[in-house]
């Protein structure tokens, strides 16, 4: 295992560096293509000239993603402990791989629609490029920081490996949050800025659902594969059974209440009738978020057989997570205000696809980190019977995060009229 992991780490690291450099090339290509369309240049000749190099670069991207996913799985087996960064990279890596396939479809649509003006597919395309960049950079960080641990340590041996169980809850939370956010944005834009025909709405619902849920499906399938050599009664320990049971009850009650409130609200707000088109995937992601978050909460709440040093490390991690949420929240707000300033002063703001994509990633990251930090720090505060520093940081980050979400929601509504 250790030998395979070292080879996989080295291979993935080399491919990651090549892919990062290649990403600069593809972004330059897409920016030049956009300029050709805006200036009514020879778009067809330009695309024919670069079609083969871009295709080769995307082959490298796909190879790197497959290598990265294989390395992440090996690391999960080797270290046998929960790690949010690995779970986050598993989620973003899967989504990034799916978006590589989506890039081809977007490029194909652009080549057909450029005669009618600047295609709206560029919005999604540059968001996709930003997601690739985030995955590449974080993958480099993981490989660099785990290199020494792999060289010095042997594969960890534990009586009951619950790391995949915990990591699956992390990924479930990220899938649920991403699905709900994407469906909310999709619904608002479809009702206001970009009215879509029924077939386009159905296609959008299917694509968003697949992109957000596939990472969770993959980690669950992997968990099932490693459990095949065990009896079903041994899949969970006693505490995990209790955690799942309590999480199921919380999910049932909370999901019924939330769906009932939405059902009642439809009678008073006519625009919510659009919910009839997305209620099933919305419910799936809502249940996934509630169940994973509740399971993780109850798992962390229970007594752990760890040393005082480990408790200190957990407290430090929660404080750092809260600090990261605080910085991320105000960074998102600062970027929002900076974009407005640039729009007023030089006319470059929300018309920039890169600005839109980067702001969208900041909002999603801030939302996910806020939720996780809130869960972890509430657990720590209840166990220590005092408010943790991380919880203070998390609460302080709520105003800028809430303002950013509210601002983009109001912006979408006002631009539709």
pLDDT tens, 257-316?
Answer: 888 777 777 766 666 677 777 888 888 999 999 999 998 888 877 654 444 444 446 777
Q: Which two tokens stand for residue 246?
A: 């309590």
- 68 close to 93: Cβ distance less than 8 angstroms: yes
CA distance linking residue 406 with residue 394, whole number of Å: 18
Residue holding tokens 């977007």? 106
Claim to verify: residue 55 and residue 132 sit in the same structural domain:
yes
Return all residues near 161 (Cβ < 8 A) that are at least 6 apart. Answer: 80
Claim to verify: residue 33 and residue 150 sit in the same structural domain:
yes
CA distance linking residue 259 with residue 272, whole number of Å: 12
Which band of pLDDT confidence, cut at 50, 70 and 90, is reported for residue 166?
confident
First to last CA, the chain: 60
Counting beta carbons within 10 angstroms of the beta carbon of residue 227, is it exposed (0 to 12), middle (13 to 18) or buried (19 or more)? middle
Claim to verify: residue 39 and residue 151 sit in the same structural domain:
yes
Range(s) of the domain holding residue 314: 306-417
Among 94, 123, 157, residue at a domain's last position: 157
User: Could you give the count of Cα atoms lying within 13 Å of 92 in the half-sphere of its Cβ?
Assistant: 23
Claim to verify: residue 151 and residue 191 sit in the same structural domain:
no
Higher pLDDT, 361 or 209: 209
Claim to verify: residue 37 and residue 72 sit in the same structural domain:
yes
Claim to verify: residue 120 and residue 73 sit in the same structural domain:
yes
Would you state the pLDDT for residue 67? 92
Q: Which two tokens stand for residue 278?
A: 């997305």
Claim to verify: residue 7 and residue 121 sit in the same structural domain:
yes
Among 104, 134, 157, residue at a domain's last position: 157
- 403 close to 331: Cβ distance less than 8 angstroms: no
What 269-277 contacts at long range (C-beta under 8 Å, 24+ apart), as own/partner pairs, is 271/191, 274/187, 274/190, 274/191, 275/187, 277/201, 277/202, 277/205
Q: Which two tokens stand for residue 363?
A: 């909002």
| The total number of residues written for the chain in this structure | 417
Claim to verify: residue 130 and residue 15 sit in the same structural domain:
yes
- pLDDT tens for 5-60 read 788 888 999 999 999 999 888 888 888 877 777 777 777 777 778 778 888 998 99
- 43 close to 122: Cβ distance less than 8 angstroms: no
Classified as helix, coil or strand, 81 is: coil
Looking at the 3D structure of the chain, how many domains does it have? 3
Claim to verify: residue 317 and residue 257 sit in the same structural domain:
no
Which contiguous run of DSSP H or E holds residue 314? helix 308-345
Claim to verify: residue 64 and residue 114 sit in the same structural domain:
yes
- pLDDT tens for 316-337 read 777 877 888 888 777 777 776 7
Claim to verify: residue 151 and residue 179 sit in the same structural domain:
no
Of the candidates 333, 300, 295, the one whose C-alpha atom is nearest the C-alpha of residue 176 is 295
Claim to verify: residue 268 and residue 378 sit in the same structural domain:
no
Among 302, 319, 337, residue at a domain's last position: 302
Higher pLDDT, 338 or 106: 106
Residue holding tokens 């040393």? 307
Would you state the pLDDT for residue 218? 92
């Amino acid at each position: 295992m250790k030998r395979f992991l070292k080879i996989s780490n080295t291979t993935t690291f080399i491919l990651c560096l090549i892919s990062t450099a290649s990403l600069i090339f593809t972004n330059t290509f897409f920016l030049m293509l956009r300029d050709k369309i805006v200036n009514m240049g020879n778009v067809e000749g330009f695309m024919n000239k670069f079609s083969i190099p871009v295709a080769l670069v995307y082959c490298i991207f796909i190879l790197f993603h497959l290598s990265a996913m294989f390395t992440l799985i090996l690391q999960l087996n080797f270290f046998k402990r929960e790690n949010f960064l690995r779970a986050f990279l598993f989620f973003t890596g899967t989504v990034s791989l799916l978006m590589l396939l989506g890039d081809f479809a977007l490029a194909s649509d652009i080549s057909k629609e450029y005669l009618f003006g600047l295609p709206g597919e560029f919005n999604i395309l540059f968001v996709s490029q930003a997601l690739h960049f985030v995955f590449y950079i974080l993958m480099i960080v993981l490989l660099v920081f785990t290199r020494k641990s792999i060289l010095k340590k042997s594969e960890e041996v534990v009586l009951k490996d619950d790391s995949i169980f915990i990591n699956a809850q992390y990924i479930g939370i990220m899938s649920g949050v991403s699905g709900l956010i994407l469906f909310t944005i999709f619904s608002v834009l479809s009702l206001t800025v970009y009215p879509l025909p029924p077939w386009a709405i159905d296609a959008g619902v299917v694509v968003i659902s697949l992109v957000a849920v596939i990472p969770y499906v993959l980690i669950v399938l992997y968990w099932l594969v490693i459990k095949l050599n065990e009896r079903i009664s041994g899949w969970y320990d006693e505490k995990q059974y209790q955690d799942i049971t309590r999480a199921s009850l919380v999910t049932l009650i909370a999901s019924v209440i939330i769906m009932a409130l939405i059902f009642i609200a439809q009678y008073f707000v006519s625009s919510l009738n659009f919910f009839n088109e997305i209620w099933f995937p919305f419910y799936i992601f809502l249940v996934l978020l509630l169940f994973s978050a509740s399971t993780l909460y109850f798992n962390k709440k229970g007594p752990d057989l760890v040393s005082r040093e480990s408790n200190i490390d957990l407290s430090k991690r929660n404080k750092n997570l809260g600090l990261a949420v605080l910085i991320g929240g105000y960074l998102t707000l600062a970027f929002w205000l900076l974009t407005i300033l640039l729009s007023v002063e030089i006319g470059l703001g929300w018309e920039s696809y890169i600005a839109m994509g980067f702001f969208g990633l900041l909002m999603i990251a801030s939302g996910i980190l806020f939720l996780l930090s809130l869960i972890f720090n509430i657990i720590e505060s209840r166990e220590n019977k005092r408010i943790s520093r991380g919880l203070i940081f998390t609460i302080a980050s709520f105003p800028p995060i809430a303002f950013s979400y509210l601002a983009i929601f109001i912006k979408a509504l006002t631009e539709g009229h």
